[in-house]
Amino acid sequence: MLFRSLLKITLILSTVLISGCEYETSVYTNDLTGLWSGQDTNEDQVHTFLSYRREDGKYMSIHEIWENDKRTLIYSEYGFWGQSGSKYWTIVALVNKGGKISIVKDCNLKIRRYKILNFTSESITYKSAKTGTIFTVNRSSEDIVKSFDMNSDGHKFIYKKLEEIDANCPKNI
């Protein structure tokens, strides 16, 4: 009788401990790759973005800034991304504004650090370590990914540059 009671308590505690850790574990192991869309709004403008994080640690994102219902800026960023525990980061290596590509000089990589606050298979909420801004992004249709022609000459050039930066620049996260 005592043995059965101890066994039941052990099973109950094990189940509680395992299920209690399950969410934390999923934060750290769920897949952040793929296409994610988000929006950041302040009183003057709306910033919409679409980010595509690849399994190889590279990413691209397209950003639009809107003021008074007019798009005032569109640009794209390319770089690296990663995750460790609840920490997530992006490293901006190239920026394309109006067809002009800016490539980092002297390995002066722009690192953006975030803390993941919540993760589901369909959305991620994270907070900028620098600004405190909280972003929520939603998984977007993988069909849209097909519209990103990663084999175009422009993308081939960009990914070649990313490979060079990756090989030559230390990433101090």
Q: Which tens digits make up the pLDDT trace of 25-48? A: 333 445 788 899 998 888 788 999
Supply the pLDDT for residue 65: 93
The yes-or-no verdict on residue 17 having pLDDT over 70 is no
Same domain, 46 and 108: yes
Supply the pLDDT for residue 15: 28
Q: For residue 85, what pLDDT band results from cuts at 50, 70 and 90? A: confident
Q: Is 50 left (phi over 0), alpha (psi -120 to 50) or beta?
A: beta
The yes-or-no verdict on residue 92 having pLDDT over 90 is yes
Q: For residue 1, what pLDDT band results from cuts at 50, 70 and 90? A: very low
Same domain, 12 and 36: no
Q: How far apart are the first and last CA of the chain?
A: 55
Same domain, 64 and 104: yes
Same domain, 11 and 71: no
Angstrom distances, CA of residue 118 to CA of 15, 24, 99, 165: 23, 10, 36, 31
- The answer to whether position 66 is within a domain reads yes
User: Residue 171: which of 90, 116, 117, 105 has the closest Cα?
Assistant: 90
CATH of the domain at 87: 2.40.128.280
Same domain, 7 and 90: no
Same domain, 69 and 5: no
Q: For residue 170, what pLDDT band results from cuts at 50, 70 and 90? A: confident
Q: What's the pLDDT tens digit per position in 48-72?
A: 999 999 888 999 999 999 998 899 9
Same domain, 25 and 99: no
Same domain, 6 and 53: no
Strands (E), 10-169: 34-41, 46-53, 58-67, 70-84, 87-97, 100-103, 110-119, 123-128, 134-139
- The answer to whether position 138 is within a domain reads yes
Supply the pLDDT for residue 31: 79
Residues 6 or more apart whose CB falls under 8 angstroms from that of 105 comprise none
User: What is the residue range of 1's domain?
Assistant: 1-30
* Percent of the chain clearing pLDDT 90 (strictly above): 42
Same domain, 74 and 10: no
- The answer to whether position 141 is within a domain reads yes
- The answer to whether position 173 is within a domain reads no
Same domain, 84 and 140: yes
Same domain, 136 and 98: yes
- The answer to whether position 2 is within a domain reads yes
Number of domains in the chain: 2
The yes-or-no verdict on residue 148 having pLDDT over 70 is no
Same domain, 66 and 127: yes
Q: What's the pLDDT tens digit per position in 106-125?
A: 888 889 999 999 999 899 99
- What is the average pLDDT score of the chain? 78
Q: How many Cα neighbours within 13 Å face the side chain of 91?
A: 19
CA distance 136 to 127: 9
